[in-house]
């Protein structure tokens, strides 16, 4: 899994920040931090960290920071999986066709805002 994230003092031009609301991506990102997301990079890649839309319910959209891994359930599909585990269990979302994965990806996480974090 390639999770080398860049520490940014502020969001670079052309990128967006994404609030991390859960510890799904710990230890890379923790709740309360801000991920720096490249919205132009939505191509699924094994092990990459993505901001993903996991629910599209009206007034209840749910976004999470998740890794993509090949699904062992259906060949050629992806699972979006939390990095951290709670009581030994990781949460997952899928299987997703390559098209649906790309549709649910908001963008690739390339770093985090370093303000308030020990480097």
Phi and psi based region of residue 20 (left: phi greater than 0; alpha: psi -120 to 50; beta: remaining): beta
The whole-number pLDDT of residue 28 equals 82
> How many folded domains does the chain comprise?
1
Neighbouring residues of 105: CB distance < 8 A, sequence distance ≥ 6: 42, 44, 50, 51, 52
Question: Per-residue pLDDT tens for 56-69?
Answer: 766 666 788 888 88
CATH number at residue 13: 2.10.109.10
- Report if residue 1 sits inside a domain: no
- Report if residue 119 sits inside a domain: no
Instruction: Using alpha carbons, select from 88, 72, 89, 91 the residue that is nearest to residue 80.
Output: 91
Q: Are 18 and 4 in contact (CB under 8 A)?
A: no
Instruction: State the residue range of the domain holding 64.
Output: 6-113
Where do the H-state alpha helices sit in the chain? 98-104
- Report if residue 49 sits inside a domain: yes
- Report if residue 83 sits inside a domain: yes
- Report if residue 99 sits inside a domain: yes
pTM: 0.82
Which run of H or E residues covers position 2? none
Read off the pLDDT band of 119 (50, 70, 90).
very low
The structure tokens 């209840």 sit at: 60
- Report if residue 118 sits inside a domain: no
Distance CA 116, CA 52 (A): 25
Question: Per-residue pLDDT tens for 75-90?
Answer: 999 988 886 655 555 6
- Report if residue 66 sits inside a domain: yes
The structure tokens 């649910």 sit at: 104
């Amino acid at each position: 899994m390639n999770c080398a994230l860049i520490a940014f003092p502020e969001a670079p031009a052309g990128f967006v920040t994404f609030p991390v609301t859960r510890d799904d991506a710990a230890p890379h990102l923790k709740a309360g931090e801000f991920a720096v997301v490249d919205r132009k990079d939505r191509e699924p890649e094994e092990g990459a960290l993505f901001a993903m839309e996991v629910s599209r319910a009206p007034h209840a959209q749910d976004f999470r920071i998740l890794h993509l891994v090949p699904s062992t359930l259906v060949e050629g599909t992806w699972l979006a999986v939390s990095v951290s585990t709670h009581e030994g269990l990781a949460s997952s979302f899928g299987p997703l066709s390559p098209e649906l994965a790309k549709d649910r990806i908001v963008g690739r996480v390339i770093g985090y805002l370093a303000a308030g974090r020990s480097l």
